[in-house]
Amino acid sequence: MDTIEIEASKDTPSVKFYPERGYLEIKGRSISETSAKFYRPLLDSVEKYMFKPVSPTLVHIHFDYFNTASAKCVIELLKRLESLPKKGHKVEVHWYYKPSEHHMYQSGMDYKTILDLDFKMVKV
């Protein structure tokens, strides 16, 4: 499986995916006009990861801001992971937000409602 390490830019977040440890972190701003292209390698790696997952799988998401295109990619990513608990693998999603960023809190709550995952809201 492919380890992914991508440094943040002004329009894209940092991404760290270590499949051998079951660890994924996305952090920063995600406002690229080509979000689908940016997230494609990660989505492909997660698809491969699904065949040999590590339990627990830990997902840490800390956006300063993300646009609608990025939101669609994130939901696609999390929906893929949603099948793992049904196969006996633990998945924990930690959604980080600042109290001053109500929109990021609300986005996390929306995902928590939509997804059947162990979803923790973490105030920073």
**Binning pLDDT at 50, 70 and 90, where does residue 1 land?**
low
- pLDDT one-digit tens code per residue, 65-105: 999 999 999 999 999 999 999 999 999 999 999 999 999 99
pLDDT given at position 2: 82
State how many domains the chain has: 1
Mean pLDDT of the chain: 96
- Which amino acid belongs to residue 69? A
Residues 6+ apart with CB under 8 A from 100: none
pTM of the predicted model as reported, rounded to 2 decimal places: 0.94
| 5 touches 22 (CB < 8 A) | no
Query: SS3 sequence, 63-116?
Result: EEEECHHHHHHHHHHHHHHCCCHHHCCCEEEEEEECCCCHHHHHHHHHHHHHCC
d(CA 100, CA 61): 17
Q: What is the DSSP letter of 38?
A: H
Domain at 26, CATH number: 3.30.750
d(CA 30, CA 20): 25
74: containing domain = 4-123
Which strands, in side-by-side order, build the sheet including 14-18?
4-6, 14-18, 23-30, 57-66, 91-97, 118-123
